[in-house]
Every structure is written in C-alpha cells, then in structure tokens.
C-alpha cells in the first residue's frame, strides 16, 4: 500500500538514502529539513535518481501532511526537534532510526542512556505510534544501488502491533523482504548502540556490513 512518508532529516546521508528507497518503491515522499530551500534541493536530487516525484518542505510542513514520519536526525538536538514537532507527529506512525552514538580515539560507541532515542520520541509525543527501525542499514548502501539489499534484514521494534506491521512492510523497499519484528519498543536500547559495532567492523574490514537473522520463516 502506498504511504505518504515524511523523512525528517532527509538532507542527511541516512535520510537521503531511505527517501530514495521509499520513492523507488512508489511511496509519496517528502524530504523535511529546518531549511526549506535545502530540502527542495535534496528532494530534486533524490527525484532525479529515483525517477519519481519527491517533494521538499520544512520539517513541520512535511510532517503535517504525512501518514508516516521517519526521524533520521542526529542525536544532538533530538529532543528539541521532536518536541517542536509534537503537534504534527501526534496520531502518526513515527519511525525512529536515530542512533545515540559517541566517537573518540578508540572509535564509535553507544551512549549510556536511561532510554533509547525511540523511547524518548514516544515520551515526548505520547499520542504518536513510535517504531524503531532501519538503524543498521548503511547510508551509502541505500544510495549507491537501486537493488534490494538482500544480504541483510531490517529489525523492527514497537509497542503498537499495527504500526510495527506497517513498518515491517516498508522494509521491503530496502531489503526486498518484510522486516523482522524484534519485540517491544524498549529493545531499541539494544538495537541503537549495535550500530557502533557495525561501524567498527566496517572500518576494520573496509566493507558495509549489515545484520542478517537466521531461522526466521520467509513468510514472516
């Protein structure tokens, strides 16, 4: 089913890549940004590559018109941004792929937090239906090829069964198959920092690794 999707942070690498994949799959995509001009420029770039119509708008305008809102924003300033969009996000399916990570001379690491980014978004906008997903898909992999990333799975966590199922279906746009229900939203506390492990392995082996789960039925 076609969805109206707003990608908040769509001018960044992860947001751009996911917006591209959703547009390729035939969804109605709007790129959101604090800078509306930049959003429209990035939307035009994505549209040309996808061969599909992609709109650009301010974050608030993009979220207001969407049924599904993807948060692909940096952890710094996350709470302020989500809080500022509370009215637009209320009642919507909100996908968080935000990863609270730190970096030092030893490499990436997951920040020690009392709640995940996804849980923070749910707390700030209790009327939203927040789902955690797309944390582990490399931005360059999303953008480099239109082919499905069949070597990996999208892990999805959420407390709303209908919203979680919808996001599992959206994962087909990326991997060519339905996402895996990984459990309750609180498990985003484990999924988000796992991204640091993948970044570390990618640097060591000079690749773009992903997460693949064995033993799950194909008709999930």
pLDDT of residue 125: 98
The average pLDDT across 176-194 equals 98
Q: Phi and psi (nearest 5°) for 131?
A: -130, 135
Residue 92 has pLDDT above 90, yes or no: yes
Confidence of residue 214 (pLDDT cuts 50, 70, 90): very high
Proportion of the chain above pLDDT 70, given as a percent: 100
Q: How many CA atoms lie within 13 A of 115 on its CB side?
A: 12
Question: Which residues, listed in sequence order, are joined to residue 181 by a DSSP beta bridge?
Answer: 156
CA distance 150 to 60: 34
CA distance 195 to 163: 23
Confidence of residue 218 (pLDDT cuts 50, 70, 90): confident
Q: pTM (2 decimals)? A: 0.97
* Token pair for 123: 């707390």
The average pLDDT across 138-143 equals 96
User: Tokens 């030893």 belong to which residue?
Assistant: 106
User: Tokens 């484990």 belong to which residue?
Assistant: 190
């Amino acid at each position: 089913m076609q969805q109206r999707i707003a990608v908040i942070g769509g001018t960044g690498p992860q947001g751009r890549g996911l917006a591209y994949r959703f547009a390729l799959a035939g969804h109605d995509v709007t790129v959101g940004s604090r800078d509306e001009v930049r959003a429209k420029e990035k939307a035009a770039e994505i549209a040309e590559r996808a061969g599909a119509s992609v709109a650009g708008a301010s974050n608030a305008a993009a979220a207001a018109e969407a049924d599904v809102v993807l948060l692909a924003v940096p952890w710094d300033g996350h709470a302020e941004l989500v809080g500022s969009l509370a009215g637009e996000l209320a009642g919507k399916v909100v996908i968080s792929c935000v990863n609270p990570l730190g970096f030092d001379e030893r490499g990436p690491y997951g920040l020690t937090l009392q709640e995940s980014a996804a849980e923070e978004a749910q707390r700030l906008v209790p009327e939203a239906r927040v789902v955690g997903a797309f944390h582990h898909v490399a931005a360059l992999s999303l953008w480099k090829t239109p082919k499905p990333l069949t070597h990996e799975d999208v892990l999805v966590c959420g407390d709303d069964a209908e919203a979680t199922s919808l996001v599992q279906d959206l994962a087909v746009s990326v991997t060519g198959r339905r996402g895996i229900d990984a459990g309750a939203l609180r498990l985003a506390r484990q999924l988000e920092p796992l991204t640091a492990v993948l970044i570390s392995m990618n640097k060591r082996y000079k690749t773009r690794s992903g997460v693949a789960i064995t033993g799950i039925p194909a008709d999930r």
